[in-house]
Amino acid sequence: MRWLRITIAVLAAVLPAVAAPLHSQDNPRRERLQRQVVERFMENYRARAGLSDEQFNQFQAVTRAAFARRASLQQRERGIWEALEGQMRPGVAADQDSVVRLLDGLIDLQAAHVEGARQDLRRYAEFLSPVQRAQLVISLRRLQEEIERIIRERLEQGERGGS
């Protein structure tokens, strides 16, 4: 439980960066905080799963590559959503061909996320036991849920504060 509390504390500190507007993607503070969250997550997982030094080195390499790939896919996804919203402006006729390409792009990105997850699990299987992989999947899910919860709470606080 201690590792979860530490992760939550780190996430709470990182939330302003995570919930920052899209135009601040190159914010050095945000990038630093994201790196800190990833490092803290990896250290917490190392302790929880009882990884050897060799396993941890491999875990770090695979995890960093996986997070970088996901970040790239998420950036592409944000671009597609922005373009799709731009096409759907009230009072402006949407370009049908562009909308089809954008929708196809969203589906393609979903497929890329799934394929990336499969590749990650195969790579983790090279040095983690099935139980360790399950612990990792559960830990990643909890991390994602906690980030979503914190963002949701902050957005709700902003709506109440702005009313």
pLDDT confidence of residue 163 = 53
Answer whether 151's CB lies under 8 Å from 18's CB.
yes
- Residue 91 to residue 97: CA distance in whole angstroms: 18
pLDDT confidence of residue 80 = 97
Residue 9 has pLDDT above 60, yes or no: no
Answer whether 70's CB lies under 8 Å from 113's CB.
yes
pLDDT confidence of residue 35 = 82
pLDDT confidence of residue 36 = 86
- Residue 34 to residue 105: CA distance in whole angstroms: 27
Nearest to 73 by CA among 112, 107, 40: 112
Residue 4 has pLDDT above 60, yes or no: no
Q: List alpha helices for 22-129, DSSP H.
A: 28-49, 53-87, 96-125
Name the band, by pLDDT with cuts 50, 70 and 90, for residue 104: very high
Nearest to 147 by CA among 73, 40, 62, 72: 40
- For 75-86, how does the pLDDT look when each residue is reduced to its tens digit (9 = 90+)? 999 999 999 999
Name the band, by pLDDT with cuts 50, 70 and 90, for residue 26: low
Average confidence (pLDDT) over 135-151: 89
What pTM value is reported for the model? 0.71
- For 37-74, how does the pLDDT look when each residue is reduced to its tens digit (9 = 90+)? 888 999 999 999 999 999 999 999 999 999 899 989 99
Answer whether 160's CB lies under 8 Å from 25's CB.
no
Least confident of 64-78, 107-121, 145-159: 145-159
Nearest to 140 by CA among 31, 33, 55, 66: 66
Q: Which amino acid is at 145?
A: E
8-17 long-range contacts, CB within 8 A, separation 24+? 8/146, 10/36, 10/37, 10/40, 11/37, 11/143, 11/146, 11/147, 11/150, 12/150, 15/147, 15/150, 15/151, 15/154
